[in-house]
Every structure is written in structure tokens, then in C-alpha cells.
Structure 1
Amino acid sequence: MSDTNARMRTIFRTKTAKALTRMEDPRDALDDSYEQQVKLLHQVRQAVAEVATAKKRIELQGEEMGARHRRLGEQAREAMEQGREDLARAALQRRAALESQVTKLQVQHGSLQEQTAALQERERRLAEQIAAFRIEKETMKATYSASEAQVRANEAVAGIGANMDDVGANLDRARDRVAQMQARAQATGDLLSSGALQDRTAEPDADIERQLSELASRSDIERHIAALKSEKADGGRSSGMAGDAPDRWLSIGQAPPA
């Protein structure tokens, strides 16, 4: 249970640290600032388009009024030619009233033209500023990422990372478990060899066969000891064992001929 709690604490601290890192990451702040500037540029461009549309409407109205102004002048001239001074006077009066409207339209058109020029200049400067900021932003992000990678590498080499204590604790627990498992394996192996534990996978009566094999091995050792003693008593004469013949290995472990 304690190991589980320790792992849960480690996971929680890791996730919390990652969340705080994301909140404090200057790269995110730079991206947010860039997005805000891009939105502002979009708004300026929208304003330029709206002002340009309004200016175009005024220009169309001015063209219509200009055409009517010319037509009234022609009508006044034609009326005078026809001897209708009254009609000529009426046409000129209407043209004078139209000129007043055209004058107001010209003022609006000039104002919109100034606004358009100012907005276009602001758009140009803002676009240049955003382009420069984007270059600086990407440079700063790359520098931060490289520095962050270097810090992590240095901490990993020096073992001073924020989670190195947890890593060390996990490593110590793993070492303890490996040692416990090794000791258990050795103990169960000894018990199995001594017969205290029964091998469920062995064949029936395998324990008797194992003991007989051990007796035969000990008997063979005693026989060789006796042969060596006899050889020593005979003055070092050969006991019948093969010498340095190339095929000597074929007789290793074989019983000597009767």
C-alpha cells in the first residue's frame, strides 16, 4: 500500500509540475501576444475595407450628381436658345441647389479619404511590427527550447532534477525487490535440492534416482582415490588411465574396463 501511495504522489507531483510549467511557459505567452496582434491587424484591415466601401458609395453618388449637374446646365442653355428664360432659370436654380449637396458630399469624401490613408498607414506599420515580432518570437522560443533541453540534460547528468528524489527512491525499492527475489530463488533452490520441497514437475520416484546418482558419484570418487593411492604405492606406475592420447576425452566419465 505504501508503494502504491508513493507512486500516486509521484504521478500527482509530475502532472502538477507539468501544468505549472505550461502556465509559466514564455513560449505560450509569446504565441498569445502574436495572436492578439494578428487579430488587431485583421480589425484594422476590416476598418480599411469598410471606409473604402463608404468612400466608393460617395464617389458613385458624386458621379450621379455630376451627371445631373451637367444635364441641368445643358437644359438651361437649350431653354435660352428656345427663348424660354423661365425654364433656363428653373434649371439653373436646381443646379445651384445640387451644387450645395455636392459640396457636402465632397467634404465627406475628403474626410473618408483621409481616414483611408491613415488606416492604410497604420495597417502597414502594424504588419511590419507583427512580422518583426514573429521573427523575434520564434528566435526566443527556439532559444528557450534549447536552454530547456540543456538544463534537463545537465540535471539528468548531475542527478539534480526535480523528480530525481523519486527516481532514486524507486531505484532503491527496485533493488530491494531484486535482492529479495534472488534470496527467495536461492532459498527455494536449496530446499528443492535437499528434498524439503517436493518438485511437482519431476517424474515419480525421481528423488530415489537422484540419491542413487549421488551415491554412485561418491563411489566413483572413492574408487579414483584408491587408484591414486595404489599408483603412489607402486612407485608412480600408471594405473591404467589413458595418457595424453588425442582421444582421451572419449574416456572421461566412463568406467575403467574390468
Structure 2
Amino acid sequence: MFLKSARIKKELIHDFREYPFSIPFVRHLDELDLDAPITFFVGENGAGKSTLLEAIADQIGFNPAGGSTQNYQAFDVHKSDAALGEFIKLAWWPKVTNGFFLRAETFYQFASHVDETDRNGYRSYGGKSLHHQSHGESFFSLFQHRFKGNAIYLLDEPEAALSPTRQLAFLALLHDLLKEGNVQFIIATHSPILLGYPGARIYHFHENGVEEIDYEQTELYQVTSYFLQHREKMLADLFEDEEE
């Protein structure tokens, strides 16, 4: 593995009431072990998953707006300044800077940047502009053609543009890359399908910090499983509550 851990440099933080230090995991977490081939971050919106992922990307040298070291700061997106970046320290085993940071919410801007700078006939993206592919196709073209071995990949909600079938295909792609043994993934997700990858480490971000949990303990699994088994009852209860 490459990235061993991430430590919060609390000695540099003067006021935990200010953002991003006000996010609960920052106050409660000292160090997070990341020495697994694939690590998932799960939790509610605002729990800090993306904030930590963005900070890690920044410290590796990836563009916090999305991309790699080759286009660091080549394009900018509002609210992509890696506010926590200088307040974390990464431990490596060994260090690697090959890879990519995917932010689903800024992928459109990244695709525009590729259109402006690509000189290789979009070889890393399936042979055509990402803007000339559907949203799901453009994501999968990136995964399929740009993701290689000897690299670390940080993915923030990669399922955003993928159908369930495409998510399964993405898992197969992950598996093929991981079999090579020289690739590492850290993924923030809301997908119970992606989260089901066997043997992955799962960290749950919540108001009391971060804890490692099993797949079946995740809210994503429990809510989805219950809904599929008791859809009519769950919807009836939900709509009844709304009517009241």
C-alpha cells in the first residue's frame, strides 16, 4: 500500500468553532489508518467525508477541484480550496503521486479543462471529448482508460452518474486493478452497491467522530435492505407521517 495514515495536526488549530475545524470528526479524530487497498468513507452529508478526501488530495498534490498532479491549480472551482489541507499530515509507505482525484460535483468543469488542454486525441478518455459522452459514459471512460496501476485514486461519490449496472461494472474494474497489488482507492460514497466490495475497510463519519464498521452495520445497507424487503410498508409509514 501507499498511503498509510492521515493525522490531524491539532497543534495548529486555535479555534474548533471555525470551519472546517467545527466538523465533528476534526475535533474527535487524531489519526486515521488508511493502509488498505480500498477504503470507503460513509456518513450523512456534512459529516466531513469530502472535506477529508479533499485535504488528502491537496497534500498529495492533486488539484482540489479534481484531477491529478499534472493539472494542479490548472482550473479552479468555487469551494474547492481544501480548507483542511494544511492541517493534516500523511504517512506513506512509500509515497506516490500518480493517480487522480474525482469530484462528481466538479466533473463538468474538469471535462471543459480537458477540452481546452488535450493534445492526444482524448486517449485517456475513450477517444472523444467527455462532453460528447453521456454523464455516465464520461465517468466510465475516465475509470476505464485513465485508471492504471502504481497509483492512488481518491473518488468523491463516483456513483453519481452510474446506473446500478454500471456500478457493478465499476466494481469489476476496481477488482481487476486491485489484483495487480499496486493501486489504492479511497472512496466517499452513498452507494450500497459500491460499498459491498469484499474486504474493504469502511469508516463511518458521524457527530462523535469516525469509527470502522462492517458492511451490514452501515445505514446504507440497512435502509436499502429494509426498503427492498418492506417497500409498501415503508412507503405507507413515510407518507402517513407526511400527511400528519
* Same-fold status (TM-score > 0.5): no
RCO comparison, higher one (Cα < 8 Å, 6+): 2
Higher strand fraction (1 or 2): 2
- Which TM-score applies when normalising by structure 2? 0.20
**Structure label with greater radius of gyration:** 1
Calculate the TM-score normalised by the size of structure 1.
Answer: 0.19
Higher helix proportion:
1
